[in-house]
Structure 1
Amino acid sequence: MAEEATTAVSNMTISDELEWPMNRVRDTFIKFFEKNGHTFWPSSPCVPHDDPTLLFANAGMNQYKPLFLGTCDPNLEMANLKRAVNSQKCIRAGGKHNDLDDVGKDVYHHTFFEMLGNWSFGDYFKEGAIDLAWRCLTEEYNLDTSRLYATYFGGDDNTPADLEARDIWLKYLPAERVLPFDAKDNFWEMGATGPCGPCTEIHYDRIGGRDAAALVNADLPDVIEIWNNVFIQFNREADGSLRPLPAQHVDTGMGFERLTSILQGKDSNYDTDIFMPIFKVIQDLTGARPYAGKIGKEDEGYVDMAYRVVADHIRTLSFAIADGAVPSSDGRGYVLRRVLRRAVRYGRQNLGAELGFFSKLVPVLVELMSGIFPELKTQQAHITAVIKDEEESFSRTLDKGLQKFKDLASKVGDDKVFSGEDAHFLYTSMGFPVDLTELMAEEIDMTVDIEGFEKKMQEEKDLSAAAHQAKMSGGSGKDMRLVAEQTAALVSMGVPATNDDAKYVWNEELTGCAASALFIGRGETEDGVGFTDSISAESGAVGIVLDKTSFYGEAGGQIYDTGSIVSESGATLTVENVQIYGQYILHLGTVTEGTFNKGDAVKSCVDYVRRAPIAANHTMTHVLNYALKDVLITNGTGDSTQTVDQKGSLVDETKLRFDFSWGSGLTNEQAAAVENIVSGVINDSVPVDAFVAPLDNAKKISSLRAVFGEVYPDPVRVVAVAPTPISEILKNAEDSTWNQYSVEFCGGTHLSNTKDAKAFVLLQEEGIAKGIRRITGVTSDDAVAAIKAGEEFEAKVAEAGNLKGLELEDAIKKLTVELNSLTISAVIKAKCRDTLATYGKTVVAWKKEAAAAKTKAVTDEVLAAAASTEGEKVVLRVDVGADSKAAKAIQQAVGKKIKDKSFFLVSADEAADRYIAMAFCHKSNKAVDCKKWVIAATEGTGGKGGGKPDSAQFTISGVSSIDSVIEKAKSF
């Protein structure tokens, strides 16, 4: 079916018949701004791995935030940008900007969309931005000027109206079509804090020939916003105040999908060649009626809504997965899980789709979009696999969840409020995100009480924010960050950029440094900026900016250095944290002696003992990255469509942690092979070379491993774990010889030779999300200790193999407990667990054999007693513990040989202080009712059990009553 769908797309001529096919719409915008001095700057990934404040890239300006904040690394190519243009991949499905709940209900909301954008970084401002927008729309796209309306920020109690933008617009439009609005519509903010400013929007009236001013910003499909010019002038502080940015910038966003619908003469974004091919495949896969574009009550069965939801959501999932995210249980991964489950639910329930339909939509999207976004093609197999796996997982509980929702909804009272407790049950037990429950409730005119959910989410956010702030402030509660306000102040004070070249020097104090700036925290000085002329112990948490430093600032997954800064007068700062803010490096800590004054001559003293294991862990993380590719891809037998790409890392003095893409857990053989390669590189004493090279040249190295989505400076620092220096490698960069070595871009601190790492141990390999694995390991003395502990434990396990019976069983229990707490190689752990499991099978076999022998002995004893008993009753105490199965076996063995007698047997487990009492006879023997017999004999003991006239068994606590039970049994 998927192949048929793809063929259908290939054969379509919809775009060929249009004057403005979607690709022409996009190309026209980009070429117009290139003609006007803008540099084409490719879209950043929609997953901002380097920006923890964002779930997804939700606007075109996200990747330029360092330029707006004044924190851009001056070595990056971006630092030289003055004007830029692109089409940015955006997702608005979580956080402040979230359109997820609206998708499907109307014909113009999307969770994934393209934002056509042009930017000015301290270059042109309002006059230039408005002129460019007007010329692009009216001259390039030939839009009817009588249908255009402009809005501007009308001001509020805290911020004056943007009359400058209004007056510029009056040059192009009559006053009745230049409209003021409040901050909700015309003051743009990226988040709770960060760059912001007034904006001017351009709205288009699809109908025309009328005065539509009253319909602007009325959330109607006929009068829609198509262009937004944000004039970035301020930074929103944590306290809500606005502070001017160092320079004024322009951020433009134009909705690609909306503009395309206008140019193609459609009333809906979904009626364009962006979506119609996807609808065709959805219909082919599900057999649903054709898409009709209906909304609300006219959309019977919510079929058209389902089309829109499914088509929109396959775009969001595919682009997010291609850019490195995966559905999971928290953060952006949880948002993707919600998106996927929403789509699957609509597809299954409203379109009648079968399990697995959603992943079959990936080919049509790749066909449509990979021309401008080639990552869809290269990641197609991975995207399909992740969606298929997640879809199947949810589908297993979907039907049960839908039925459970109906059951719970039927019990809702007259207030028609679906309880938060029930919504939580659906979330935890059925995997239903709360917004999916809200949708289902809305369809039957109910609401959901989500206060409990929101409260819990807020509590988690508060805890996370508090932990981060505590880390940054040393627990002082101060805000010790340098943002635009602080970096601008440093520039205006003439503070030079921090030179940190000495961070690669080892075991030397860096003298001749100057305390360029002293910082006591944002809001801690009269002007609020936070810089002061002197600091002492009374200042609490403080920071020092040096003109040069030997400290490594936290970056690239490597933790910061610690140590001290000492002035010539003896003043000492204990450095507890080092952070990088653009061109400045801030050393955070507390003054433990004396007073620092601005401009003091100081020396930079790194704790190199602490840095040594950090460097070892970092170097061997590079080798681990190489080893994984070698084992799983180069010499592997796994899925050839998979890739091993770095998804994150953490390197500190205690461990290394490496996240990578792979669809399944490593086998013990694969883990052992990886561990052996890394250990072998250490044992071979391989040199570690670092070299700064032109970016284009370095990219040509055949074995180069770079992090997806990472932006690298030019020139770039290259680190190679290889016997050949990088300068020689670059002379013949594409030579396949280098494929046997680890080569990466990296600005971290490393060893000079792998022998200094001493040893490597892979402690754990685990999955952390769909298609993402994590390895944790140690090097140096920690690895040596882990190896020794592993060898000692293996010896214990081997020695235990000489034991038998109960001694072996006891040893297995003790060794298992010890193994769970040991810090040893995951490979050794797995081997030991396998060995202990084998021992366990031996114990089970021994127990079965012993039980069989005991059962036979007791059976013989019962038969002998029966032969020596003259009456029909045989009452006897036997020794099979309180083992009901053994007792049953005895009954069966005796019953086969003796039919004219009835038996009452008692057997105790002294250690457990309990016993069993059982009676049995042949079915043909009507002389006794065995159940009544046992009941009568155990009366008053509190025993519990049951049975039939020919067989009954009770269990009694307290062995002290055995003798009386036996006497009662004899006299029954």
Structure 2
Amino acid sequence: MTSAEIRNSFLDFFREQQHTIVPSASLMPQSPGLLFTNAGMNQFVPYFLGTDKAPYDPPRAADTQKCIRAGGKHNDLEDVGYDTYHHTMFEMLGNWSFGNYFKKEAIQWAWDLVVERWGLPAHRLHASVYAPKEGDPGNFDQEAYDLWAALFASKGCDPAVQIVHGNVKDNFWMMGETGPCGPCSELHVNLTPEGDPKTGRKLVNNDSDLCIEIWNLVFIQYNAEADGTFRELPAKHVDTGMGFERACSIIQNTKGFTDFSRKPSNYNTDVFRTIFHRIEELSGKKYVDIYPDLGADRTKFDDGMKDAIAFRVIADHLRTLSFSIADGIMPGNNGRNYVLRRILRRAVKYGRQLGFSGDKPLFDGLVSTLVAQMGDVFPELKDREAAIRETLNREENAFNLTLDRGLKRFGDGAVSLSEGAVFSGDLAFELYDTFGFPVDLTALLCSERGLKLDEDRFKALMEEQQVRSRAAQKTTVVRALEISTDAVTTMTGFDSDESEATVLELHPQEDALFVITDKTPFYAEMGGQAGDTGTLAINGNEYAVSAVQQIGKARAVAVPADASIAVGDTVTLKLDTTRRRPIEAHHSATHLLHWALHEVVSKDAAQQGSSVDENRLRFDFNSGAVTPEQLQTIEDKVNAKIAENGNVSWTEVPHASIKGRTDIMQFFGDKYGDTVRVVQIGGGNNSLDGYSMELCGGTHVRKTGEIGLFKIKSEGAIAAGVRRIEAVCGKAAETWLAEQEQLLIAEAEAATAKATVTLEKLKQLAIEAPLALAAAPATHELSALKAHLEHLKEVSIEAEKAFKKAQARAAAQQADAELAELIEAGKPIIRTFEADASLVQELLNGLKKKNFGEAAFFIVDDGEKLQLATYCGDVAQARGLKAGDLLRDLAALAGGKGGGKADQARGGAPEREKIAELEAAAKAKL
């Protein structure tokens, strides 16, 4: 059978047993504790927990689930390529019962499929059952033993030999410290040439590739309680998982279970052969299905073995990367994104063994092969093929530069070391910290040369760096976020501009008094939306609210430090609606822009960041270049929806009720609570049937007509694969258009003046040259210039867009180039540049768009003064660093000032001779 036939055979069998065949869940897990979806059961957890009811009739399901185990608890990365069966990405075939059938049916059907339908000889099959030791949960699984025993006996096999007792580690499954759990039966296949059951029995669960686990049947019958006891569940479930690649290996490598003379390999199947053939075409080398012995010295591998390992690593990693990107998980610097980046770099490194390099890319020629092979089963591969190819090419090109530099530095450090020597932990740290070279890649290079990496020294240096960061954190002056409170504030500002509230707490700070109330109409800056301002009134006094701060579940407003307010007072909080209304308009326009991008550019144009305030909106998204025609269409579509004056509404719903709805934008990587707020445009109020629907906590207009005219100011690249649109609406759009008109008039006047000078010169030439025709070109030139000016008036706005676009692109590309290696290293950044002041904001934008988690301090010497900027990402802020506070402290050292928010701040300083002092101070703080 081919792999496709094996997959279909499994699903068809369980379809016959009245199972609903469901699609694979995304590799982006629903559980925040997982890096990736790593088992078939992940998507069914709510049914096991009883929080949701299984929507199948009868409540049974079967599927093939794409899984990744590379990072975290389940990590097979380092074994990939060196044996026959480890992968980072694999398919898990499974059948499920949600309170329906149990052990009898699950065991009988497993036997019927594997033995009766596929034809695996019963004597080569070993079943393990749970046999706890003293102190382990549950009891011996006699029921499972008896069921298996009857089946083996029916084939003339000795149950005492074929059935193995398993311990709590191998044969008791738990979802977590508490929750659903139960015993399991694993099916192992004896792959020894002779097939002696007694030999196979000894190999079960002993890490031998001659006795492979193929299927695990989990019987969820207990609930692990917090006190350590196990309670019987009223509804019992079945959760099974069969390794698809292993099933293909055993069937295809044994000629349908008839020839076990050759050790089966997952890689010697049509699952991988198609990719190997393409790698052979691109590299000019041939794949040979050979493997090193367990524990073999990797420094002694010949080129043939190294080539074989490289083929397997590349094929496996191509699958992992492509499927992940198809599900919206991109290579990056943190968490699961960094795992993908490590996998990509590992593949690129092994690609060097086969002759791939910066001049001969690895992935570009392989993606289409994988898509053609698996796109019918997993259509997301077809839908996202262009995005997969573009992302892999970009990452590969960037890392090839890093790899060349890192390999050279590694080679310099290793050249004098003999086999068995210790590679310096200091140099490994330098490769990591300065060159952005992953330490696991350094460890791999050491292994290949027979060197021992001084991991203890490397870890010590990492800890020293963390200690410095913690010390810097202690010296940071933290202002409003230093406040701790258990108070809860109800947000009334979605529907009201004014609230009467009770003062719950007062928190005096150096330059303001922060007031926490039980209710508030004020929105605190979050999710890209600017915070509100307004007034607080009490006893005839009215105080300006200059800032709003979210503190846990409470919301505090900043009023003057000398305000006369006491806990328990009743106050009136009132929004500055002249500011709030345009903020709402820009925010709702952002949702319309997002919708229009999907309509015009691509459904894959996913949001990468946004910012809205009363003056403009900014929207970043992943995409290739957007044409001027597409931009005009987007603008027209948004304005058409504004003119419809459709409803804008919002409602809170249980997050579980909308999981899986692709028509409601839910952003990858965001953590949502049990209840979420859906903002919809169009459709009936709160009916979840709008043409635009997004999870959003911000404020919005009530009707699209309130947005006013929508105008795109600029569009351009801010990083590789990431674009930015800036736009304005309402009064801000009218103001911008008026400014453009004045610019047009000025340009027209300048052009007219230039034309006049040109005409005078032409006339002078006509006088000096005694040719009758000399006047004709002059007349013609004047006419052409006048026509050109008229044309300029008609298209000047488009010309301005093009100019702005080019200007923004140039600045962004410069910042992108400067930041590429620094961001990749993932460490705090301190850098000085001699450049125009415009570079400062683009540097900050570049960090923001790359979701840089650490802190940064930039000094840009523009020749007149120092332009300063600080940045603090999520990781830095978690350590207590705030960009605004850092900027104020550092700028003062050079006679300057400035400020900003927690994530970004800018300022200036006149004392240019203080650069070295500023750098030293920043290094101490960061």
TM-score by length of 1: 0.55
Change (3 A) 1:476 1:35: farther
Structure 2 matches for 1:214-363, cutoff 5 A?
Answer: 214-232=202-220, 248-266=236-254, 267-296=264-293, 300-301=302-303, 302-350=306-354, 355-363=360-368
Structure 2 matches for 1:544-563, cutoff 5 A?
Answer: none
Change (3 A) 1:253 1:791: farther
Q: Kindly indicate whether the alpha-carbon contact (under 8 Å) linking 2:331 and 2:340 is maintained by their aligned counterparts in 1.
A: yes
Give the secondary structure class of the aligned counterpart of 1:132.
helix
Match of 1:970 in 2: none
Change (3 A) 1:396 1:747: closer
Q: How far apart, CA to CA, are the structure 1 residues paired with 2:58 and 2:575?
A: 38
Q: How far apart, CA to CA, are the structure 1 residues paired with 2:584 and 2:56?
A: 29
Shift of 1:577: 9.2
Match of 1:645 in 2: 605
Q: How far apart, CA to CA, are the structure 2 residues paired with 1:833 and 1:282?
A: 40
Shift of 1:800: 14
Unpaired segments of 5 or more residues in structure 2?
150-158, 255-263, 472-480, 506-520, 533-547, 557-564, 652-657, 671-676, 752-796, 811-862, 865-926
Match of 1:141 among 96, 114, 118: 118
Q: How far apart, CA to CA, are the structure 2 residues paired with 1:188 and 1:322?
A: 30
Q: Kindly indicate whether the alpha-carbon contact (under 8 Å) linking 2:217 and 2:239 is maintained by their aligned counterparts in 1.
A: yes
Give the secondary structure class of the aligned counterpart of 2:443.
helix
Q: How far apart, CA to CA, are the structure 2 residues paired with 1:405 and 1:62?
A: 41
Structure 2 matches for 1:849-888, cutoff 5 A?
Answer: none
Q: How far apart, CA to CA, are the structure 2 residues paired with 1:199 and 1:560?
A: 54
- Residue 646 of structure 2 is aligned to residue 687 of structure 1: yes
Change (3 A) 1:657 1:56: farther
Q: Kindly indicate whether the alpha-carbon contact (under 8 Å) linking 1:355 and 1:395 is maintained by their aligned counterparts in 2.
A: no
Change (3 A) 1:323 1:178: same
Letter in 1 for 2:166: P
Change (3 A) 1:168 1:184: closer
Q: How far apart, CA to CA, are the structure 2 residues paired with 1:184 and 1:461?
A: 42
Q: Kindly indicate whether the alpha-carbon contact (under 8 Å) linking 1:764 and 1:826 is maintained by their aligned counterparts in 2.
A: no
Letter in 1 for 2:431: L
Match of 1:63 in 2: 43
Shift of 1:291: 1.7
Change (3 A) 1:691 1:436: closer
Match of 1:183 in 2: 169
Structure 2 matches for 1:511-522, cutoff 5 A?
Answer: none
Structure 2 matches for 1:928-947, cutoff 5 A?
Answer: none
- Residue 90 of structure 2 is aligned to residue 102 of structure 1: no
Match of 2:197 in 1: 210
Q: How far apart, CA to CA, are the structure 1 residues paired with 2:322 and 2:7?
A: 20
Match of 1:385 among 387, 390, 393: 390
Match of 1:92 among 59, 69, 73: 69
Letter in 1 for 2:191: R
Give the secondary structure class of the aligned counterpart of 1:25.
helix
Q: How far apart, CA to CA, are the structure 2 residues paired with 1:837 and 1:769?
A: 9
Q: How far apart, CA to CA, are the structure 2 residues paired with 1:447 and 1:783?
A: 63
Give the secondary structure class of the aligned counterpart of 2:66.
strand
- Residue 369 of structure 2 is aligned to residue 372 of structure 1: no
Give the secondary structure class of the aligned counterpart of 2:63.
strand
Match of 1:123 among 50, 75, 100: 100
Structure 2 matches for 1:148-159, cutoff 5 A?
Answer: 148-155=125-132
Shift of 1:88: 0.7
Match of 1:737 in 2: none
- Residue 412 of structure 2 is aligned to residue 410 of structure 1: no
Q: How far apart, CA to CA, are the structure 2 residues paired with 1:291 and 1:440?
A: 23
Q: Kindly indicate whether the alpha-carbon contact (under 8 Å) linking 2:310 and 2:354 is maintained by their aligned counterparts in 1.
A: yes
TM-score by length of 2: 0.58
Structure 2 matches for 1:560-959, cutoff 5 A?
Answer: 616=585, 619-629=588-598, 633=601, 644-647=604-607, 658=619, 660-664=621-625, 673=632, 677=636, 680=639, 684=643, 686-688=645-647, 719-720=680-681, 743-746=691-694, 751-757=701-707, 771-773=721-723
Q: How far apart, CA to CA, are the structure 1 residues paired with 2:482 and 2:190?
A: 55
Change (3 A) 1:774 1:52: farther
Structure 1 residues 923-947: Cα deviation after superposition (integer angstroms, max 9, x where no partner)? xxxxxxxxxxxxxxxxxxxxxxxxx
Q: How far apart, CA to CA, are the structure 1 residues paired with 2:146 and 2:550?
A: 53
Give the secondary structure class of the aligned counterpart of 2:147.
coil
Q: Kindly indicate whether the alpha-carbon contact (under 8 Å) linking 2:716 and 2:808 is maintained by their aligned counterparts in 1.
A: no
Letter in 2 for 1:686: N
Give the secondary structure class of the aligned counterpart of 2:197.
coil
Q: Kindly indicate whether the alpha-carbon contact (under 8 Å) linking 1:155 and 1:183 is maintained by their aligned counterparts in 2.
A: no
Change (3 A) 1:126 1:424: farther
Letter in 2 for 1:179: H
Change (3 A) 1:402 1:648: closer
Match of 1:957 in 2: none
Residue identity (%) = 38
Q: Kindly indicate whether the alpha-carbon contact (under 8 Å) linking 2:126 and 2:201 is maintained by their aligned counterparts in 1.
A: yes
Give the secondary structure class of the aligned counterpart of 1:85.
strand
Structure number with bigger Rg? 1
Change (3 A) 1:367 1:687: closer
Q: How far apart, CA to CA, are the structure 1 residues paired with 2:340 and 2:55?
A: 30
Q: How far apart, CA to CA, are the structure 2 residues paired with 1:406 and 1:776?
A: 47
Aligned residues: 670
Structure 1 residues 211-267: Cα deviation after superposition (integer angstroms, max 9, x where no partner)? 222212221111111112334567889x99788789654322110000111111351
Match of 1:442 among 444, 447, 454: 447
Match of 2:815 in 1: none
Q: Kindly indicate whether the alpha-carbon contact (under 8 Å) linking 1:28 and 1:140 is maintained by their aligned counterparts in 2.
A: no
Structure 1 residues 801-853: Cα deviation after superposition (integer angstroms, max 9, x where no partner)? 9xxxxxxxxxxxxxxxxxxxxxxx99999967989999xxxxxxxxxxxxxxx
Give the secondary structure class of the aligned counterpart of 2:64.
strand
Change (3 A) 1:614 1:171: farther
Match of 1:859 in 2: none
Match of 1:401 in 2: 406
Match of 1:32 in 2: 13
Give the secondary structure class of the aligned counterpart of 1:270.
coil
Structure 1 residues 745-793: Cα deviation after superposition (integer angstroms, max 9, x where no partner)? 4576854322333576879978687534465778789989999999999
Q: Kindly indicate whether the alpha-carbon contact (under 8 Å) linking 2:131 and 2:140 is maintained by their aligned counterparts in 1.
A: no
Q: How far apart, CA to CA, are the structure 1 residues paired with 2:58 and 2:665?
A: 23
Q: How far apart, CA to CA, are the structure 2 residues paired with 1:834 and 1:288?
A: 45
Shift of 1:42: 0.3
